[in-house]
Amino acid sequence: MKGILFEELLQPWIDRIKDESLREKVIATFQSALDKSGYTKEAQFLKMPFTLLTNCRGITFLEHTLAVTAGAVGLAQAQMAHYKKPPCEIDMDRLIAGGLLHDVGKIVEIEPFKGGYRKSRNGMCMRHPISGVALAYEQGLPPEVLNCIGCHAKEGEGRPQTVETILIHQADYATFDPLVMMEKGSLIS
């Protein structure tokens, strides 16, 4: 599907990637995912829920992507602001690119169906961390960003992860877990 401007949809974070080539590869990965997806209408894609695993309560894939990126950046900034000597260097370009791309595989994992959404054939065969790595590898993203995509969820448990992947993982679960708990009735309001 043409006509979706990821340069605009991924603001403000996409412009905060300093490396121009990395920025272009992030956008190319989103476009390639959309081209391979089941979306034919812009509105269908813009309303896509960020997960089918729990009630999203209206939170879209794009909102989630931006919130997780902001959360991961916040976690990095918190350490840089308050540690006299940060224990490890955090690459902000890599962190933002990884945050934006961590769920890019969901564009091919979830498809529109009868006015709603369902898991696609692609999604039945592989979860989004795997399809996301394939999409990003094809566009030439560096291995450290592939680690953010491939190892941000349960696929990454017990596997070597970059510090950027750990921050994205934590920001991701901070947005996901409260929704699951609400659904189970275990979130105290």
Residue 41 vs 159, nearer CB to Fe ion: 159
Binding to Fe ion in span 103-132, by CB under 5 A: 103
Nearest to 103 by CA among 148, 154, 46: 148
Binding to Fe ion in span 40-79, by CB under 5 A: none
Q: Which amino acid is at 120?
A: S
Residue 2 vs 53, nearer CB to Fe ion: 53
Q: Which amino acid is at 91?
A: D
Question: Could you tell me how many residues of this chain bind Fe ion (CB under 5 A)?
Answer: 2
Give the pair of three-digit tokens for residue 3. Answer: 């006509």
Q: How far is the CB of 173 from Fe ion (least distance, A)?
A: 9
| Close Cβ partners of 104 (under 8 Å, ≥ 6 residues apart) | 29, 30, 33, 128, 132, 135, 136, 149
Binding to Fe ion in span 86-105, by CB under 5 A: 103
> Prior bond to 112 cis, omega within 30?
no
Stretch in the footprint of Fe ion (CB under 5 A) among 11-19, 54-62, 134-142, 164-172 = 164-172
Q: How far is the CB of 64 from Fe ion (least distance, A)?
A: 6
Q: Which residues bind Fe ion (CB under 5 A)?
A: 103, 172
